[in-house]
Amino acid sequence: MIKNLDSMKIRICLINVTNKDKMVMNKDLNGGFGTCDDYGNSITSKIIRFIKSRTIKLPIISYAFLQAIFKQQGHEVEYYEDNFPDKSKNFDLILIYGTIVDFKNENMVCIKLKQMFPTAKIGIFGPFPSVMPELFKSGDFVIVGEAEAYFMNDFKHLDNLRGYVKVSSQTNMESLPSPCYDGFPINKYSYYPAIRKKPLLTLQASKGCPYSCRYYCVYGNYQGVKIRQRSPRRVVEDMIYLKKNYNVKGIQFRDPTFGFNRNFIQEFCNELKHKNLNIDWGMETRLDLLNKNNIKMMYDVGLRNINVGIETINLYVAKKNRRKLIETNHQEEIIKYCKRLGINISAFFIIGYEGDTKETIENTIKYAIKINAPLARFSVATPYPSTEYYELLEKEGRLLIKDFERYNQFTLVYKHKNLNEDEIRNLLEKSYRDYYFRMSYILSLIMRKVRMASVF
């Protein structure tokens, strides 16, 4: 018998599958494919791994949006993270977020849940299951597309949830309710030291990315190249909601390119200033969208962290990988200005690009040290399924590893023309060692803490 949702309410369980064997895993990063950091086996690498495992933990925002959607529709929803529901629960629908870095464990959890709740429909959703649904065979169905759009617009019958459930639309950002974090272990979340204040949660003001980085980046391929923007008024309403309901003091936005649309930043800052919220927040964007005026405007209403992709400084390597570099003088001027104000810059670099050599990578490490951003992340170029980069290497027969859990941004998974896996591994360890274990960085870290203490 078909269960028509127009005439009945259902019991829904959202389960965030965790894996204690993987210390530094964040499933909401990397366009939702997830990351699992592995800094190497040296003493310095182990120190970094230990620190990161205790300072960075973010919620998966899709769960919060889905919970809000279901509650708005009148369904009963329960959220679980780090634990399972009791067998006595009688759920109609169980949803699990799938990733590239932990899909085997996620499949095993589906099997276990099927044994525990044999009458429930169990499904997988997320960007990676949308790209490779064939890897998620243990559930009853896989959502192919944006789950928020499906459950807002297309979800009519439980009996339709089988096999590959293809979503016919994209999420309308303006129509989304404010994300609901009820039941989330909020006190465990942290994005330190980029955002120092807690409780910390995440928000999303837009989806989509129009830049050519989608050649190797999963954001634009899954979310599309068109920016879907939530209005400044709605975004500030989300912030007010999080402060009122969860007492948040820090927010990190999960937009691929925050503030891309013309006038958004000014209207957002005006709205935020009018509401007089005392919240520190961070974002990810391109430095060529920023200038001293809009940075100061955002700083005055709480901006304290900017994630930026610098990736490489070599023009040949950038062009070969279809990466448009930021003009160097502008880049360095903006970073210096942010540091002067007290805004953290988290600079992201990639080694092992096509065309990279030992020399080009060492020059990128030297440049990272020169600009001396408060935070730096180095990762290995990774060809993700759904990107042109992956398709090219597969066509050329250069993919060395088909175990997708090793596509974690810290493993060389393809045959590089200039460097082997050991060389890349050594350069990766060198990048973190040279950056974080130099005396000038340690002294600058101490001075920043002194300044912060004097402010508060």
C-beta neighbour count of 278 within 10 angstroms: 9
C-alpha distances out from residue 101 to 62, 190, 223, 410, 415, Å:
17, 20, 19, 11, 20
The residue with tokens 């009853």 is: 140
Structure tokens at 306: 């900017």
What pTM was computed for the model? Answer: 0.94
Dist. CA 447–CA 378, nearest whole Å? 24
In sequence order, what DSSP letters do the residues of 418-444 get, joined into one string?
Answer: S--HHHHHHHHHHHHHHHHTSHHHHHH
**H or E, element range at 125:** strand 121-125
CATH of 11-166 given 1.10.3470, 3.40.30, 3.40.50, 3.30.450: 3.40.50
- Provide the CB-side half-sphere exposure for 303 (13 A, CA): 23
Count CA atoms within 13 Å of residue 27 on its CB side. 28
Strand, coil or helix: what is 320? helix
- CB atoms inside a 10 Å sphere around CB 88: 5
Distance CA 403, CA 194 (A): 32
> Rounded to whole angstroms, what are the CA distances from 358 to 187, 241, 350, 364, 426?
42, 49, 13, 10, 10
What residues does CATH 3.20.20.70 cover in the chain?
Answer: 189-455
CATH of 189-455, one of 3.40.50.2300, 3.20.20.70, 3.40.50.620, 3.40.50.2000: 3.20.20.70
Start-to-end C-alpha separation, the chain: 62
Ranges in the chain annotated CATH 3.40.50: 11-166
* Predicted confidence pLDDT, tens digits, the chain (456 residues): 334 555 579 999 999 999 988 878 999 999 999 999 999 889 999 999 999 999 999 999 999 999 999 999 999 999 999 899 998 899 999 999 999 999 999 999 999 999 999 999 999 999 999 999 999 999 999 999 999 999 999 998 999 999 999 999 999 999 999 999 999 999 999 999 999 999 999 999 999 988 878 788 888 777 878 899 999 999 999 999 999 999 999 999 999 999 999 899 999 999 999 999 999 999 999 999 999 999 999 999 999 999 999 999 999 999 999 998 999 999 999 999 999 999 999 999 999 999 999 999 999 999 999 999 999 999 999 999 999 999 999 999 999 998 999 999 999 999 999 999 999 999 999 999 999 999 888 887 776 665 555 544
Residue 5 CB-density burial (10 A; 0-12 exposed, 13-18 middle, 19+ buried): middle
